[in-house]
Amino acid sequence: MFFNSNRINAQGNKRRERIWCSERIAAGWSEPFCLSGEINDEHLHWQVSVDVKGNLYFGSERTGTKGRDDVFFAGLVNGRWMKAVSMGREFDGACPYVSPDGKYIFFLKMGMRNDDIYWASTQIIEKLKPKD
């Protein structure tokens, strides 16, 4: 389960909004843990979604991107999330959700009198992933 919280993280950093996770275990839920710096280095995240492979999608206003209402993708590789990258203007002002089968991304687009629900194939993610 992924969620936003402004609690102080394990490193004792000052209180501010970050994405956290708690895993389902036999006894209920694990202790919540703060996600890595690749995800939480910058503030303001919303609408966190995860696909079956563990890749994250979330809204944010990160430095060096188009600025406001970006949707970001952070791939999970060998148990670590890669640096989050903007999914581009097609998802401007969106709140993303990935379908349970991982085939589609659904998003709300609001503002400029075109509020609606949209969808796209998650194949767009492969096209946008950095080639490193």
User: In this predicted model, what pLDDT tens digit does every residue of 26-62 receive, in sequence order?
Assistant: 999 999 998 888 888 876 777 788 888 899 988 887 7
Q: Which domain holds residue 89?
A: 2-128
Q: How many domains does the chain have?
A: 1
Query: What does the pLDDT read at residue 12?
Result: 67
Kindly give, in sequence order, each residue whose CB lies less than 8 Å from that of residue 124, ignoring residues fewer than 6 positions away.
87, 90, 105
Query: What does the pLDDT read at residue 132?
Result: 65
Q: Are strands 24-25 and 28-29 parallel, antiparallel or unpaired?
A: antiparallel
Residues of the chain with pLDDT under 70: 11-12, 43, 64, 66-69, 89-91, 93-95, 109-114, 132
pTM above 0.85, yes or no: no
